[in-house]
Structure 1
Amino acid sequence: MNVEIDTSAFTEEAYELLSELEDSLLELEASPAEQELISRVFRAMHTIKGSGAMFGFDAVAEFTHEVETVFDMARNGTIPVTKQLIDLTLAARDQIRAMLDAAAGGEPADQANANKIIAGLRSLTPDKKSAGAAPASSGGAPGKGPAPAPAANESNIFRVRFVPNTDIFGTGTNPLLLLNELRDLGDCRVVAITDKIPEFEDMDPETCYTGWEIFLTAQIAENAIRDVFIFVEDECELNIRLIDRDQAMRDQQEGKKLGQILLERGDINPKELETALLPLGDRLVQAGVISHDKVKAALTEQQVVQEKQDKKKTAEAATSVRVPSDKLDNLVDLVGELVTMQARLTQTANTIGDHTLQLIAEEVERLTAELRDNTMSIRMLTIDTTFNKFKRLVRDLSTELGKEIELITSGGETELDKTVIDQLNDPLVHIIRNSIDHGVESPDVRRARGKNPVGKITLAAIHSGASVLIRVEDDGAGLDAAKLRAKGIEKGLISADDELTEKEAFLLIFAAGFSTAAKITNVSGRGVGMDVVRRSIEGLRGSIDVASVLGKGTTITLKLPLTLAIIEGLLVMVEDEYFVLPLAAVEECVELSREDVKKAHGRHVINVRGEIIPYIRIRDRFEISGTAPEIEQIVIAEVDEKRIGFVVDKVVGQHQTVIKTLGKNFQHSEEFSGATILGNGGVALILDLNKMVRYVEEEEIRELDAA
C-alpha cells in the first residue's frame, strides 16, 4: 500500500519551533543558569528529532540528536551552559533550517558544516564517546533511552487521552511512535481504547479505529507532553490532565469512589451519575440516615460544580485554525469585490429613489462593513515575531564588529497587516545594521566619551490613528549634518549653493549611492542599503522621519498604514477623470481662483494664511484636455514633512478605497499606487503623492540645469 506522506504539517511547525528555539537560546545566554530555559531548548530539540524521524526526515533527526544529547547533559548539570555551547547550538539551529529548506527543494545543506558543529558539541562533553551515541532511526522509537529517574516526591501523574482522527494514517503518522516518545519521558502505562473497532469484514486498513489512554508518571510539566503531539494536535482528540502528585495520590486514592473517578475521567456525565446515585439516596432516606432534601442538595452541588468545570473545559478547548495565506488573500479580494458591488447597489438605490430598496442597501452596507472589518482583522498579526528575529542579528553583528550592544524591544503586541509585516523585514534589517555599524561606537570610544560601553538599540512600535509608528533608536554618535551635506555635494546629489535644513541633510542618507563609510565592509559602505529602505517604505505607502543629536544618538521613525488592502481616500475629479488621494496625508482643502493665479505671476504657489505653499496641477501633470473651472480646488497634503498642494476641479468627498493593483501595461506608472472601482462602475486611480512630488522636483532641477 503506497501512502503519500504530507510533511507540510511537520515543516511548518518545525520552522516555528526553530524560531522559538532561537529566542530561548538568546534568553539563555543572558541567564545561563535558568533551568526552565535549558529544559525549553531540550524539549524543542527533542520534539524536532522525534517528529523528524516520524515524518521521514532521518538526517534532521540524526543531527538534532547530537544537540539534544549535549543539552540533556546541561539539563542534568553535567556540563555548564557557556557562550561556546550557545554559539554551537545557534549554528545547529541554522543548519537544521538549511536541511529543512533543502528538503523543500532549496539549496543542499552543507554537510561539512554539520560535521564541524557535531565535532564542536562533542568536544564539550566530559566523555566524548557518550556524545556520539547512535542517533535515532526511523525504524524505532526516535532517540529512545533511559529517562532521568525522577524523585518520587516531585513526580506528576498525568492521564493522557489520545484519540487520532480516523484518517491520520494518510498523513504518514504512526501513532505508536508517539507512544514510544511518551515512554522516553518517564514511567508509562498504556491502555488501548478499542470500542470503535468494527467487525473484520467492515475494516478499512487505512483507517485508525483505536485510541489510547496513557498514565504517565514523570518529573515533567504538561508542556513536555504537548510537545510530543505538537505536529498532530489538529488531527486528534488530545486531553491531558494532571491527576495528582505521587504523595497526594497515595494519601487520597483509597478514598476515591468509582463514580468520582469515572466522572473525573469523563466516561460518564453528571446526569448519568445522578441517575445512578438516586437509588442510594432513596435507601439512605428510607433508613432514616439523612433527609431527602439533603440528598437533593448534595446532588445539586455536584451538578453545579461539574457544569462549571465543563464550561471551563469547553473554553480551554477552543483552538485556532491554520489557513494558507493564499486562501486568506483570495477571501480579501472577494470581500473587496463585495464592497464595490455594495457601493454600486447604494448608488442605484439612491438614483431610483425606491424607499424599500434603499433600506435593503443600507442593511447590506452595514453587513458588508462588518464583514470587511472582520476579514481585515484576520490578516492582522502582532509584530513581536519580526522584532524577535533581530535579537540574533544584533548579537552576531555586534560580535563581528567587536561591539557590545543590547537590543531593547517594546510594543511587540502592536498589530499590522500580514502583507506589511512580510515586506517590513528587509528595511528594518538595513536600518539596524546601519545603526550597529555607523551609529553605536566601539566600547573604547564610548568609555572615552563618558558613555556606557554597552550600546543600546531600541526597537519600538506604537499605534497612531490609522497608522503604526516603528522607531529604531540608538544611543550612538548621531548624525553630523555638515558632514552629510559635504558628502552630498561630493556625490553630486546636491549643489554647493543648496541650503539644506538639518532634517533635509539627515534625509540624504536615503539617497541612492550615498554612504559615509570610510571603507567597504561586509556590513556597509556600498551605498545601497538605505536607498532600498526608502523605496520599500514608500512602496508600502509609508514615510520615513529622521531625528538625531550629534554625540547622543539617532532615531529613525517609519510611519506605515495598518493595512494595504483598504485605505480611506479623498475622491477628486479633473474633467471626467477620478483620482484618489490617501486621506491620512490630506490636511485641508482651499479654493484657487483666477485672481490667485494672477497674483503668483506664473509661479505655482498660493498664500494660505501667510504661508506660501507650492502646488502641482493634476490636469497639467497628466495632460488632461479640457478647460479648468473658474474656481479650482487645492488639496493640501503633507509630503516628506512639507505642505504641498494638488489642484483639482472638484473634491467629491471621502471614499473608502479597496485597492486593486494595476496591470502590466501600467507597471512603469510609478505615480499611481493602484486603482479602485467606484460605485458607478468607473475606475479611479490612487495617487502616490511622495513619488509624484519627487518626480516633479527632479524635472524642475533638470530644466534649471538645461537653462
Structure 2
Amino acid sequence: MNDPIQVFRTEASELFEQIESGLLDLLHDLSDRDQIDAVFRGLHTLKGSGAMFGFEGLASFTHHCETAFDQVRKGEVPATEALVSAILNAQDHMKALIESPGPHHDAQSERLLLTLNAALGGSSSASADGQIAIEGKAPSTKTGSTTWRLKIRLPKNAMANGTNPLGLLNELRGVGECEITADRTSFPDFLNLSPLDLHLAWDVTLTTERSRSEIEDVFMFVIDDMQLEIQELPMRSVPAGAVGDGSAPRPPQSVETVAAGKLTDTKSGSKAGDNVKVPAERLDELMDRVGELVIAQSRLSQLAASIGNGQLRDVSEDVDRLSGELRDTMMVLRMVPVGSLFSRFRRLVHDLSRETGKTIELQTDGESTEVDKTVIERLADPLVHLVRNAIDHGLEGPEERLRNGKSSTGIVSLSATQAGGEVVISIKDDGRGINRERVRAKGEAAGLVQPGAVMSDQELLQLIFKPGFSTAEKITNLSGRGVGMDVVRRTIDELRGTIDIRSEFGVGSEVNLRIPLTLAIIDGLLVRVGDSRYVIPLSAVEECLELSLEEDIRSRGRSFISLRDSLVPFLRLRDLFATGTEPELHQKCVIVSTGNERVGLVVDQIIGDHQTVIKSMSKLHSTADMFSGATILGDGGVALIMDVNQLVLRGQSKEALMRAAV
C-alpha cells in the first residue's frame, strides 16, 4: 500500500462504484439533481486524481465525460437514457485506461466520444489538441477573455486532511493564464511554526474565457471550509499576465465571496478520520495469528486441567476469555455488508436488459447483512451465473408476460438474511419457472437419470447443477453451454454451503444459497470414532441421541432411526472410516442437517464443544471428499473436519438404495 499508483487504483475503484451507482439511480429519475451532481463530482475527482498520478490518457478522456455532465448540471442539455448508457460504457473504458494505459486505447476513446456526443444531440469534430467540440449546443464557456482576481485562503488543517494546495493552483493554471502571488502576512515566527499547519494564502490574477462557475468548480471539494473571494476586473486596468505593475486598479465591478467557512485549527478543532483503510492481506495475517492463539489457548487449558494447579487454571481462564473476545472482534473486522456484493448486479441487470430487450427491475433486501469478506469474494461468480440464468431462462419477454396476465416488467430479487451461523442468500424471479418435464428429458438424454427412476422434486431440480446440463434450445451469449450452474454448485460446495430450489411453473423460481458466515474459525462438536477424533460443524448439528448396542444390532440392514414420527437414515462412521474397532457399549447418534435434509452420524463418543481453526488440506487429500479441512487440537493432535454436505448426500444415496430394494 506504499505504492502511490496502487493507492490511486484503489481509490479509483471506489469512485467507479460511486459513479455507477449514481448513473443507475439517475435512470429512475432523469431530473434528480442530487444524482447529477454526484456523478459530476465523481468524474471531476477521477479526472483530477488521474492527472495527479500521471494517467494523462484517463484525465483527458474523463474530461469529456465531465464536460458532458457539466452541461447537464447547468441545464444546457437534458439527462437522457442514451447519455447515461454512454457514460456507463465510457466508465468501462476508464477502467481499461487505468489497468493498461497507452496509445492503443486511442481508437476506442474516439469511438466512445462520438457516441457520447451523439447522446448529447450534437455532431462532433476533433480539434487539433484532441478536444471534442459539440456543435449545435450552447457553449459552456463565456465568449471573450475576462480577468478575475482571486483571494484564496485554505483552512490551517488542509494539508493534514489530504488537500494539496499546489494541485489546486495547477488546476487554476489549466483554466487560463494566471499570475500567482503568495500572501505571507499570517506566517508565524519560527518558534510558533507548526509543520502540519498551512499558513500561506494566495492572490491570483486569472485571465480566461471560462465562466465564474467553472472557476468555482476547481475548489468544489474544499469550498465549504475555505475563504474564496472572486472579483471581476476591467481588462484595461490589469494587463493580461501582469500583477503588481505599480498601477492602481480601478474599483472592481463586482465582488462575490463564494464561501467564508470558519477556519479550524488542527491544535484545537481538527478531528481524525473515523475510518482507517487497512490492506486485506494484513487482516488475513492477523486472522492467522488469532487462529494460532486459539490453538495455544486450547493447549494451555488442557495443561491446566491435567496439572490441577489453581493459579494456572485462573490464568488459563483469563487467557481463554481474552482470546475469545479477540477472536470475536477479529471476526467482526472481517465482516462485510452483503450490499457491497448486491450493488454490482445493478449494472449487470441494466446491460442484460438492453441486450435481451426485456424490461427488468432489480430488487434487493437485507443489504446490511454481514458476511466474511472471503465469502463475499467467492460468491460473486455464482451469483452472476444465477442472475444471468434467471434473466435468460426465467423471465419472459414483455409481450409474453402481458399475454400471461403479468406486468411487462420482470422482477429479479436478491435478498440476504442471517440464520444462526449461516447466511441465506436468495435469488428469485417472477418468470416462467422450471419446466420439470424438460429437465427430466434432458437428464435422461444425458444419462444422469435412469428412465422411469423415482425422484423427489428437489432431486429433479438439482439436476440443473450437473456438469454440462442445460435446457436451452440454442446457445446464446448468456447461456446454453451448461457450464455456469456447475460452477455455482462447485463454488458453494467449496464454501461448505448448500443450495435449495423452489419453482412453480408459470409463476417463478427461487434459489436459496446457505453459506457459513465465516471460513476461518467455527464452533465445532468434537467427537471420537474408534481411536481418532473428528469435528462436526456445530451450525449443522440439530441434536444428539444415544444409540445403544441393542438398537444398533436391531437396525442393521436398514440403518434408519425413528425420530418424532419420521425415519432418518444414519451412517455408522466406524464402518465408513474403516476404523477396525469394535462398537462402544453406548454409541451416540448426532443428527445433522443441510436445508431440509437430515442424516444421523453414529460416533463412539461426544467429547464436547471445540473452537475450530480451519486448516486447508493439501492436494494429496483432494479425494477425501468427506472432509472439508483439518484443525489442531490442544494436545497437538490433528482432527479432520467433516463435510456435512457430502455425508448427507451419502445418507440420501443409501436411503434411495434401501427403498429401491424394498
Letter in 1 for 2:614: I
CA distance in 1, matches of 2:353, 2:122: 34
Paired with 1:269 and 1:665, the residues of 2 have a C-alpha distance of: 60
1:178 to 168, 178, 198: 168
Give the secondary structure class of the aligned counterpart of 1:652.
Answer: strand
**Residue in structure 1 matched with residue 225 of structure 2 by the alignment:** 241
Q: Is the 8 A contact 1:147 1:185 kept in 2?
A: no
Counterpart pick for 1:584 among 539, 545, 563? 539
8 Å CA contact 1:159, 1:243 repeated in 2: yes
Aligned to 1:256: none
| 1:460 counterpart SS class | strand
Distance in 2 of aligned mates of 1:518 and 1:570: 48
User: Residues 408-557 of structure 1 correspond to what in structure 2 (within 5 A)?
Assistant: 408-557=363-512
Q: Distance between the aligned counterparts of 2:202 and 2:628, measured in 1?
A: 58
Alignment partner, residue 35 of structure 1? 33
Sequence identity (%): 42
After TM superposition, list the pairs within 5 Å mapping 1:559-578 onto structure 2.
559-578=514-533
Question: Where in structure 2 are the equivalents of 1:246-645 lying within 5 Å?
Answer: 265-266=263-264, 314=271, 317-639=272-594, 641-645=596-600
Pairwise CA distance, 1:619: 2.0
Q: Offset at 1:55?
A: 0.7
1-side partners of 2:380 and 2:424: how far apart?
A: 15
User: Given that residues 498 and 595 in structure 2 are in contact (C-alpha distance below 8 angstroms), is that contact kept between their aligned partners in structure 1?
Assistant: yes
Aligned partners of 2:303 and 2:587: how far apart in 1?
A: 29
User: CA offset at residue 390 of structure 1?
Assistant: 0.3
One-letter code of the match for 2:333? I
1:60 to 46, 58, 61: 58
Alignment of 1:626-705 (within 5 A): 626-639=581-594, 641-694=596-649
- CA 1:245–1:543 in 2, change beyond 3 Å: closer, same or farther? farther
How far is 1:596 from its partner? 2.1
Look up the match of 2:159: 164
1:268 and 1:661 mapped to 2: Cα distance?
Answer: 49
Deviation at 1:129, TM superposition (A): 5.9
Q: Pairwise mapping of residues 74-113 of structure 1 onto structure 2 (< 5 A)?
A: 74-103=72-101, 110-113=105-108
Q: Distance in 1 between matches of 2:448 and 2:122?
A: 63
Q: Distance in 1 between matches of 2:622 and 2:168?
A: 52
The aligned amino acid for 1:29 is L
Once residues 490 and 595 of structure 1 are traced to their aligned partners in structure 2, the CA distance between those partners, rounded to angstroms, is: 46
Counterpart of 2:115 (choices 114, 120, 128) is 120
For the structure 1 residues 189 and 513, does the alpha-carbon distance in structure 2 shift closer, same or farther, using more than 3 Å as the test? Answer: farther
Q: Residue 346 of structure 1 contacts residue 361 of structure 1 at CA under 8 Å; is this kept in 2?
A: yes
**C-alpha contact 2:616 2:629 (8 A) present in aligned 1:** yes
What does the per-residue CA deviation read over 1:327-375, in whole Å, with 9 as the maximum and x for residues that have no partner? 1100000000001111111111111111111111111111111111111
- Please report how far the alpha carbon of residue 127 of structure 1 lies from its aligned counterpart in structure 2 after TM superposition: 6.4
Deviates more, 1:608-617 or 1:571-580: 608-617
- Cα distance in 1 for partners of 2:73, 2:130 equals 19
1:326 maps to a residue whose letter is E
Q: In the alignment, is the contact (CA less than 8 A) between 2:570 and 2:651 conserved in 1?
A: no
The answer (yes or no) to whether the contact 1:197–1:210 under 8 Å persists in 2 is no
After TM superposition, give the deviation of residue 637 of structure 1 in Å. Answer: 0.9
Deviation at 1:64, TM superposition (A): 1.0
After superposition, the Cα gap between the structure-2 partners of 1:93 and 1:592, relative to the gap in structure 1 and judged at 3 Å, is same
**How many residues are matched?**
607
SS in 2 for 1:614: strand
- Whole-angstrom CA distance in 2 between matches of 1:418 and 1:81: 37
| Change in 2 beyond 3 A, CA 1:135/1:397 | same
How far is 1:430 from its partner?
0.7
What corresponds to 1:232 in structure 2? none
* Matched residue type, 1:412: E
Q: 1:227 to 1:580 in 2, by over 3 A?
A: farther
- The question of whether the paired residues in 2 share the 8 Å contact of 1:160 and 1:241 is answered with yes
Give the conservation status (yes or no) of the 8 Å contact 1:537–1:544. Answer: yes
Post-superposition offset of 1:165:
6.2
Secondary structure at 2:343's aligned position in 1?
helix
d(CA) in 1 for partners of 2:486, 2:72? 46
Distance 1:182 1:614, change over 3 A: farther
Q: In 1, Cα distance between the equivalents of 2:341 and 2:199?
A: 39
Out of 353-362 and 684-693, give the one that drifted further: 684-693
- Partners of 1:189 and 1:364 in 2: how far apart? 63
TM-score, normalised to structure 1, is: 0.77
In the TM superposition, what is the alpha-carbon distance from 1:379 to its structure 2 partner?
Answer: 0.8
Distance 2:43 2:78 in 1: 18
**Change in CA separation of 1:125 and 1:505 when aligned onto 2, cut-off 3 Å:** closer
Larger helix percent: 1
Counterpart amino acid of 1:113?
A: Q
**Shift in Å, 1:432:** 0.4
For the 8 Å contact 2:461–2:501, the answer to whether it is kept is yes
Encode CA deviations 1:101-124: one digit per residue, 9 max, x unaligned: 225xxx996443222101222334
Stretches of structure 1 that go unaligned for 5 or more consecutive residues are: 137-144, 149-156, 200-206, 229-238, 247-260, 271-309
Deviation (angstroms), 1:500: 2.1
- Deviation of the 1:601 alpha carbon: 4.5
The letter for the 2-side match of 1:389 is R
- Residues 497 and 601 of structure 1: CA distance in aligned 2, closer, same or farther (over 3 Å): farther
Distance 1:623 1:699 in 2: 17
Change beyond 3 A, Cα 1:182–1:515: same
Q: CA deviation at 1:72?
A: 1.6
1: distance between equivalents of 2:493 and 2:613? 19
Give the TM-score of the pair, scaled to structure 2. 0.82
Structure 1 residue 424, shift from structure 2 partner? 0.7
* Stretch deviating more after TM superposition (174-183 or 626-635): 174-183
Shift of 1:460: 1.0
Q: Note the C-alpha offset of 1:561.
A: 1.4
1:452 Cα deviation after fit: 0.3
Letter in structure 1 aligned against 2:56: D
User: More deviation in 337-346 or 545-554?
Assistant: 545-554
Matching residue of 2:48: 50
What pairs with 1:127-166 in structure 2 (closer than 5 Å)? 128=123, 134=129, 160-161=155-156, 163-164=158-159
Q: Aligned residue for 1:202?
A: none
SS at match of 2:452: coil
